[in-house]
Amino acid sequence: MKVFIRFLLISIILLSFAGTFFYLYQKSQESPVHYKTKTAVIRDIIKKTVATGSVVPRKEIAIKPQISGIVEEVFVEAGTMVKKGDLIVRVRIIPDMIALNSAESRLNQADIAYENTRKAYQRKKELYRKALISEELFEEIEFAFKKAKEERTTAKNHLQLIKEGFIKKSGESTNTLIRSTIDGMVLDVPVKQGHSLIESNNFNEGTTVAIVADMDEMIFEGKIDESEVGKLQEGMDLILSIGAIEDETFHAKIEYIAPKGEIINGAVQFNIRAKIELKDSHFVRAGYSANADIVLAQRQQVLAIEESLLQFKGEQPFVEVETQPQQFEKRMIKLGLSDGIYAEVLEGVTKEDRIKIQQ
């Protein structure tokens, strides 16, 4: 009995060692790698860079008053379509008291001078008619009378200009009526009835009463990094994606590249401008943010492979092509244009070749 138990224990120990060795052997044996493959495809390859910016009208005008005063009435609101000369705002003049007092005093003096010269003219005219004074003396008093009359008219106009901002004899030409200077859409009216206005002059740009723009001609204004600006040329095409208009792109053409850059957040950026081809199906609002994909080069319907399939020996690219099931050979290839994902293949593989995917 003791012999049997001893034999059983030894057998169990030996079987345990054998099982352990077999398990370790199985773990040490790697399963064969099965490589997947891909083939080249026919596709378009577009090499592009991206510029960020916004869409703005080419013609955007800030309408400013030529006189100071108070907004008496506003005739338009944002979104209103206007023609050149359409009324936007009426201004009520608040005259300067010193200038008003001076103008009234000037008119009073002109009235007195006019009345005196008028009486003298009437007397001398009667004497001249009776041939009691010379023609030269009569012409002198006649000249003085006309001069006094003109001075009184000027003083009246000056007083009216200070009080009302316009002269009656000028008709509709009045600074108190502010009109649009272009055809377009009113984008903003930053003033309301009762607001004070400051006139535009050499020392002050004045209060903006409205912003009018031609929405039929929009441009893209953006910035591009100095590392990419050397690849751009005027006339190049770009594809514009507007954030507010999903699943739609617009074609544009570069018409300006800034000759001087600006340092923004430590990087040199250059301004670019492009004319946009608008679509009747979408209304593009001023100020939309946009990204422009600028096409640097493109190839249409060429043989291409994914760049992840490429390997390099020095600077020479190659791929591994399957010759027999799970048997591969190195094949040197010649590449063309690349967009960062796909590369054009000029020589080395065909559309039927199966290329090994690297593990």
Neighbours of 140 (CB within 10 A): 13
55 near 187, Cβ under 8 Å?
no
What's 270's domain CATH number? 2.40.30.170
* Of 228, 217, 219, residue with least CA distance to 294: 228
Residues 144 and 250 in one domain: no
Residue 11 domain-assigned (yes or no): no
More reliable by pLDDT, 7 or 71: 71
- How many domains are there within the chain? 4
299 near 45, Cβ under 8 Å?
yes
Report residue 168's pLDDT band, with 50, 70 and 90 as the boundaries.
low
Residues 288 and 198 in one domain: no
Residues 180 and 71 in one domain: yes
pTM (two decimals): 0.61
Summary mean pLDDT of the chain: 84
What's 145's domain CATH number? 1.10.287
Compute φ and ψ for 213, nearest 5 degrees: -140, 150
Residues 236 and 289 in one domain: yes
What's 342's domain CATH number? 2.40.420.20
What's 201's domain CATH number? 2.40.50.100
Residues 150 and 289 in one domain: no
Q: What is the tens place of the pLDDT at every residue in 37-96? A: 888 889 988 888 888 899 999 999 999 988 888 888 999 999 999 999 899 998 887 766
Range of the domain at 334: 37-46+300-356
Report residue 27's pLDDT band, with 50, 70 and 90 as the boundaries.
low
More reliable by pLDDT, 200 or 249: 249
Residues 240 and 197 in one domain: no
Q: Which residues contact 101 (CB under 8 A, 6 or more apart)?
A: none
* Joined tokens for residue 248: 């739609």
